[in-house]
Structure 1
Amino acid sequence: MYLTRLKLIHFRNYEQLNHSFYPGVNVLYGRNAQGKTNILEAIHICGNGKSFRVNADSKTVMEGKEGAYLFAEYVESMDRSVEVLIGRDRKKSLKIDGIPAKNLKELLGNLFVVVFSPEDMKMAKEAPSLRRGFLDGEISKIRPSYVDALKNYTKIIAQKNAALRRRENRDTGAVIDAYNAQLAGYIRIILKNRKSYVNKLGEYVRETHRAISGGTEEISIVYKETVPETGIAETLKKLRERELFEGSCTAGPHRDDLEILLNGKDIRVFASQGQLRTLMLAVKTACLKILEESTGHTPVLLLDDVFSELDQTRKKNLLRTLKGIQTFITTADDADAKLLARAHLFYVENGTVRERQPG
């Protein structure tokens, strides 16, 4: 799978763009704030239906315009396309191969895209909710039914929390038991999917991390559950009195976390910025491999400001891992662009893109 053409109208700083791209490595280089990351963002929206930079896609509409238009043409076994129309009023319409899509769920599973951005490093070091969100997003790409289980679980947890906060009569305990009975099945589905994904993720992360770091460091990833997969109903029952006392749900998939260790030490405490970046690159490459294994299609890989804080050896090792993957790389450093001798180079300046020959 690879992107062949991207058209943009009134998207970010692009008044109009209509540009072809190539299989292999495409490098977008130029000074900062010229529109390099905007191209990656547009590709991500066409693949995943949302920006990786802002919560409201309406913020991507060019200032003074009512809407933005995005069109991505790509090759699977045949020519295919995705169109996205984003309104400043937050309305969004989607088309797949020219046919209107009913919802975002219909878009997922067409143009597969995996992105690395500097913001991803927060996932490894900051709140557990970021790691849970990452897991849920990646699993949803390969198991659409997981989305429904997660939505139902989240809805019931909100209802249970509301009941726990009220504690207005003696029947609250019975109400909580009823919610727990509903939650048990969804917890089982979520845990099964998350743990299965983490096991596969850990395997691929170790493999890719060794390739990028030169085998000098060892990574392990462990899913930390607050309700064990065996005995879910019994655990929820034991927690009831504590939850009634505290007035909130104290355990469940919404409280779980990922533990990431570098050479046996917590990465949140002991990793340098370069080590952290190497880890997240390995994680994102592992996500791509899982998607490829699950769907039979090689996703498009987007690497934003990927070379920052990597030494020359790790840069070269990273590039070796990208063989056979269409990759879009942004950099503000001309020297990094020259490092990519076999890449297709595109100079980005003030919302325009011009292809340049290497050398």
Structure 2
Amino acid sequence: MGKTNLLDAIYYLSFCKSFTNPVDIQNIHHAHDFFVIQGIYQRIEGEDTVVYCGLKRRQKKQFKLNKKEYERLSDHIGYLPLVVISPFDSSLISEGSEERRRFVDSVISQYNKLYLIDLIRYNKALMQRNSLIKNNLMQDDLVIDILEEQMAQAAEVIFNARKAFIDEFVPLFEKRFNEITAASEHVLLKYQSQLFSNNLLSALRESREKDKILGYTTVGIHRDDLEMLLDDFPIKRIGSQGQNKSFLIALKLAQYDIVKQSSQLKPMLLLDDLFDKLDAQRVERLVRLVGGNDFGQIFITDTNRDHLIEILKNTNLEVSYFFVDNGTVVRY
């Protein structure tokens, strides 16, 4: 176990999954049959809260709050608000639209339970529709009709929530980017969805025959994207390494802002190898930002202890240092 594993365990207890590997069974050590993660939290009410996660091979994952098991994992999302900034965030720029949708969904789901419920409903109906159109049997059309109606109903809620989120999120994101860079560059996020110009139920009906040939559903909110622009050009095409990192950090700090506003709680903030490849000026601005009263508990990892101590020595943060080596955590 290394330093990132420690942060991942904290993340797991907030989101019921890993941020490094979402396949639960692969998080069990190959030499063992199970894993257990347990955390003790002190919320603003002052009482200790115990969160437990356990998984055995070939068994259902258990998630408990104060020894009481959740019936649905989705009920836990948002209870312990958290934001992580890590090298894995680069996929938001470099990879496909699925990564950006996952980011939007993870933010909204922390403060909007109905959104998460409709997202689960939509994805379930989508999987069933995809399965049926692959079979391409005439008698399945009535069932597909019902699934398309379910998708359209859930999609309307999801689409409206995503639109409202982007409208609120973009000004926060622009503000954070300017604070980090103090540059003249202009950043923008644009929400792209087929639902801006199409009624989903009609579009699903019209595309059904084509979808049967292709074997998957070609229209819907599962095709949405978040366009990321730097000076009106896709940052994926023109962004330098430093610009990309500043863009992603601003994105995550804006996520922190919006979750904090919505939950009325200061989320935990996990910063994994954040100072790597950032110039000294950006590091100074960032530390000054997260060292303010707007932020709650912060976990920072760095491979260089002296480097981290030097960065944090001029802050007003109450700091504890831990050394992680081969599965052992030592305070010093």
Name the TM-score class by shorter chain: 0.7 to 0.9
Counterpart in the other structure of 2:298: 327
User: Counterpart of 1:194 in 2: which secondary structure?
Assistant: helix
Shift in CA distance, 158/61, structure 1 to aligned 2, threshold 3 Å: closer
What is aligned with 1:48? 15
1:160 is matched with 129
Match of 1:189 in 2: 157
**1:81 is aligned to 2:53:** no
Residues 227, 251 of structure 1: 8 Å contact kept: no
TM-score normalised by length of structure 2:
0.87
The residue aligned with 1:337 is 309
RMSD: 2.5
| Counterpart residue number, 2:38 | 70
1:92–1:305 Cα change, 3 Å: same
2:3 to 11, 31, 36: 36
Alignment of 1:240-279 (within 5 A): 240=208, 242-244=210-212, 246-279=214-247
Distance 2:216 2:26 in 1: 35
Residue 163 of structure 1: CA displacement? 3.4
1:38-90 Cα deviation digits (max 9, x unpaired): 22112111222221112234544566454334222223232232332423425
**Does the CA-based 8 Å contact 1:82-1:94 persist in structure 2?**
no
The answer on 1:148 being equivalent to 2:117 is yes
- Counterpart check, 1:284 vs 2:252: yes
Deviation at 1:292, TM superposition (A): 0.9
Which structure is higher in strand share?
1
1:247 Cα offset (Å): 4.5
Once the two structures are superposed, what CA deviation does each residue of 1:138-191 show, in whole Å capped at 9, x if it has no partner? 22111122222112212222232333333333x676665444333221110110
Structure 2 counterpart of 1:112 = 81
CA–CA distance in 2 between the matches of 1:154 and 1:78?
A: 38
1:241 to partner: Cα distance:
5.1
Matches of 2:212 and 2:18 in 1, distance apart?
A: 39
Q: Taking every aligned residue pair, what percent have the same amino acid on both sides?
A: 29
Do the aligned partners of residues 85 and 150 (structure 1) sit closer, same or farther apart at CA in structure 2, a change above 3 Å counting? Answer: closer
Number of positions where the alignment pairs a residue of Structure 1 with one of Structure 2: 322
Whether 2:321 is the aligned partner of 1:346: answer yes
- The alignment's TM-score, normalised by the length of structure 1, stands at 0.81
Cα deviation, 1:191-215, whole Å, max 9, x if unaligned, reads 0111212222212111101100113
Where 2:321 maps in the other structure, the secondary structure is strand
**Which whole-Å CA distance do the structure 1 matches of 2:148 and 2:223 have between them?**
15
Q: Are the aligned partners of 1:117 and 1:305 in contact in 2 as well (CA < 8 Å)?
A: yes
CA offset at residue 217 of structure 1? 1.9
1:123 aligns with 2:82: no
How far does the alpha carbon of each residue in 1:122-152 deviate from its partner, in whole angstroms, 9 at most, with x for none?
Answer: 1222111111122122221111222221122
Deviations 1:242-281 (A, max 9, x none): 4455443211111111100011110111112221111111
Which amino acid letter does the alignment assign opposite residue 311 of structure 2?
L
Bigger helix share: 2
Kept in 2: contact 1:227–1:235 (CA 8 A): no
Query: 1:271-324 CA deviation, whole Å, 9 max, x = no partner?
Result: 122211111111111111111111110100001000111111111111122122
Determine the C-alpha separation between the residues in 1 that align with 2:61 and 2:140.
42
State how 1:188-267 maps to structure 2 within 5 Å: 188-228=156-196, 231-240=199-208, 242-244=210-212, 246-267=214-235
Aligned-partner Cα distance in 2 for 1:40–1:130: 20
Query: Which blocks of at least 5 consecutive residues in structure 2 are unaligned?
Result: none
Question: CA deviation digits over 1:8-57, x for unaligned, max 9?
Answer: xxxxx3xxxxxxxxxxxxxxxxxxxxx32222112111222221112234
**Residue in 2 aligned with 1:20?**
none
- Rounded to whole Å, the distance in 2 between the matches of 1:161 and 1:259 is 26
The structure with higher relative contact order (CA 8 Å, sep 6+) is 1
1:4 alignment counterpart: none
| CA-CA distance at 1:113 after TM superposition | 1.2
Letter of the 1:131 partner, please give it.
R
Flag the 1:309–1:99 CA change in 2: closer, same or farther, 3 A.
same
- Whether 2:245 is the aligned partner of 1:295: answer no
Query: Map of 1:167-178 to 2, 5 A cutoff?
Result: 167-169=136-138, 176-178=144-146
Q: Secondary structure at the match of 1:321?
A: helix
